[in-house]
């Protein structure tokens, strides 16, 4: 259970922070960068949710689930699975979370016309913010992949799958909240030459 009575601890004043294992690492460590960027993407999703109307209440419910999943993902990344026995069962992203995200992508995408060009972020405030969240989640994915490539820095397959699907979901959700794609702004190659 999470209990936050004291917000500042002063333990990070010299540039280190604690992982969920108790290990102290530099605040610029790739693992910290990974779950910090997941947190940033989560905040961007929260801003997007502020711009949703009642007509897309289904998307808001999906995004709330995503925000909870993103905290799960941060918790997963905060406790690297190095095969050590811990005093508690760490929270991990599981396959069912990836599968749910895929089902929601399919559900929303079924109501959209196929694209014939790339979509420019915009059309509506909600859509533009979802595209910001999408790009931040892609950055988180790149960092997680780099982290997983480092010796002794495991990242689970389910966590990598989840972050990969998340940006796909946010893209489709961005189109869906743009009046199911009717307000999408499409890229016109070479338009301003």
Is 54 part of a structural domain of the chain? Answer: yes
User: Does 140 map to a domain?
Assistant: yes
Q: How confident is the model at residue 13 (pLDDT cuts 50, 70, 90)?
A: confident
Choose between 77 and 116: higher pLDDT.
77
As a whole number, mean pLDDT of residues 106-116 equals: 96
Rounded average pLDDT over 78-84 = 91
Q: Is residue 10 part of a domain?
A: no
Answer yes or no: is pLDDT of 71 > 90. Answer: yes
Question: Is there a domain that residue 112 lies in?
Answer: yes
Model confidence at 51: pLDDT above 80:
yes
- Domain encompassing residue 96: 23-81+88-186
Would you say residue 69 lies in a domain?
yes
Report the distance separating Cα 131 and Cα 52, nearest Å.
14
Number of domains in the chain: 1
Question: Residue 5: inside a domain, yes or no?
Answer: no
pLDDT in tens, 143-158: 999 999 999 999 999 9
Please say whether the beta carbons of 131 and 170 come within 8 A.
Answer: yes
Across the chain, mean pLDDT equals 94
Domain at 43, CATH number: 1.20.1200.10
Alpha-carbon distances, residue 107 vs 13, 34, 94, 111, 116 (angstroms): 46, 29, 21, 7, 20
Q: What is the pLDDT of residue 132?
A: 98
- Give the tens place of pLDDT for each residue, 118-129: 999 999 999 999
Indicate whether 57 belongs to any domain: yes
DSSP per position, the chain? ----S-S--STTTTSEEE-TTS-EEETTSHHHHHHHHHHHHHHHHHHHHHT--GGGHHHHHHHHHHHHHHHHHHHHHHS---S---SS------HHHHHHHHHHHHHHHTTSPPPSSPEES-SSHHHHHHHHHHHHHHHHHHHHHHHHHSTT----HHHHHHHHHHHHHHHHHHHHTTTTTTTPEEP-TTTT-
2 pLDDT higher than 70: no
Task: Say if 127 falls within a structural domain.
Answer: yes
Look up the pTM and report it. Answer: 0.94
């Amino acid at each position: 259970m999470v209990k936050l009575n004291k917000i500042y601890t002063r333990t990070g004043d010299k540039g280190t922070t604690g992982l969920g294992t108790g290990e102290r690492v530099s605040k610029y460590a790739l693992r910290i960068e990974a779950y910090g960027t997941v947190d940033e993407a989560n905040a961007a999703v929260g801003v997007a949710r502020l711009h949703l109307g009642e007509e897309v209440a289904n998307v808001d419910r999906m995004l709330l689930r995503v925000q909870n999943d993103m905290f799960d993902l941060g918790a997963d990344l905060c406790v690297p699975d190095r095969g050590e026995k811990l005093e508690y069962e760490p929270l991990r992203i599981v396959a069912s979370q990836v599968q749910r995200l895929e089902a929601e992508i399919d559900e929303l995408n079924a109501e959209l016309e196929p694209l014939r060009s790339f979509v420019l972020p915009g059309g509506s405030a909600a859509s533009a913010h979802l595209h910001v969240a999408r790009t931040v989640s892609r950055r988180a994915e790149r960092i997680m992949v780099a982290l997983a490539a480092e010796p002794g820095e495991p990242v689970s397959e389910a966590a990598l799958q989840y972050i990969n699907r998340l940006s796909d979901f946010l893209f489709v959700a961005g189109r869906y909240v743009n009046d199911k794609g009717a307000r999408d702004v499409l890229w016109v190659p070479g338009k301003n030459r």
